[in-house]
Amino acid sequence: MLNSTAISVSGLRVRRGGSLVLPDLSLTVAAGTVTGLLGPSGSGKTTLMRAIVGVQQVEAGTVTVLGESAGAPVLRHRVGYVTQAPSVYGDLTVRENLRYFASVLGVATGRVESAIATVDLGPHAGQLVRTLSGGEMSRVSLAAALLGEPDVLVLDEPTVGLDPVLRRDLWETFHRLAETGTTLLVSSHVMDEAERCDELVLMREGRVVATGPPGALLERTGARDLEGAFLALAEAREAS
């Protein structure tokens, strides 16, 4: 699967609530990589992810995922999506939530326990989701996306508010999934997560500022860290 393209976006234009969130965006994501989508809040990361999952109404452009048009029925088994807000039922327990999503996806209920273990929620499995903390809730949401073992995982800020140890473990899980061929697109507004990605897409005001592996971006800008590289690239773009 190396070097093949999992996601390709071309000329994407999206308007939300009257404002042009993505004026004209093009992008490719290689299969079997962990690609970080980085940019400040409001830069269009979520809108781009929604378009890739196929839940966003788009004005123009094409979005292709695994060779199919984004949102095609066959992709509903192959693409997993975790929204920023935990999209799970507060009035069900962790296990009940995951069992329900497992039966919607048509996967064995045995997957539920392993997904719970992956996000380290074992002790809370029988607890009502609304009684969990924010970070725990988003882990339930992440577990739901892992259930179907999708080929493409789109994760919108999955590690916000998590314990550093768990955050490291989750990034290890992401890389382990990528090694088995899963393509992960992970958004974050925290630059220190950027260095954990194979590839980066830096976004600002609905446009792609730069793409490439973290090392290459540092080299290109001569910056000491990725925060500095982002600043240099954004300023260079503004000047041009």
Partner 1 sequence: MSPRITLATAARVLRQLRHDRRTLALVLVVPPVLLTLFRYVFDGQEATFDRVGGPLVGLFPFISMFLVTSIAMLRERTGGTLERLMSMPLGKLDLLLGYALAFALLATVQATLTAGVAFGLLGLDTAGPVWLVVVLAVGNALLGMALGLFLSAFASTEFQAVQFMPAVVIPQLLLGGLLVPRERMAEVLEWASAVLPLTYAYDALERATQIGDLDTELWLDVAVLSGSIALALALGALTLSRRTP
Applying CB under 8 A, the residues found at the interface with partner 1 are: 16-17, 53-57, 71, 73, 76-77, 79, 81, 83, 85-93, 96, 100-101, 103-106, 128, 144, 148
Extract the tokens encoding 177.
């999934």
Least distance to partner 1, CB of residue 28, Å: 21
Backbone angles phi, psi at 125, to 5 degrees: -55, -35
Q: Which residues contact 72 (CB under 8 A, 6 or more apart)?
A: 54
Extract the tokens encoding 50.
């929604």
Cβ closest to partner 1, residue 39 vs residue 86: 86
158 in Cβ contact with 85 (< 8 Å): no
Least distance to partner 1, CB of residue 39, Å: 21
Least distance to partner 1, CB of residue 26, Å: 20
Extract the tokens encoding 166.
């768990």
For residue 33, what are the CA distances in angstroms to 80, 152, 172, 182, 204?
15, 10, 13, 7, 22
Cβ closest to partner 1, residue 91 vs residue 222: 91
CB crowding 90-102: b at 16 or more within 10 Å, else e: eebbbbbbbbebb
CB crowding 173-208: b at 16 or more within 10 Å, else e: ebbebbeeebbbbbbbeebebbebbbbbbbbbbbbb
Cβ closest to partner 1, residue 55 vs residue 190: 55
Cβ closest to partner 1, residue 77 vs residue 175: 77
Least distance to partner 1, CB of residue 145, Å: 8
Least distance to partner 1, CB of residue 230, Å: 29
Cβ closest to partner 1, residue 50 vs residue 196: 50
Least distance to partner 1, CB of residue 105, Å: 6
Cβ closest to partner 1, residue 95 vs residue 196: 95
110-118 helix and 94-105 helix, angle to the nearest 10 degrees = 120
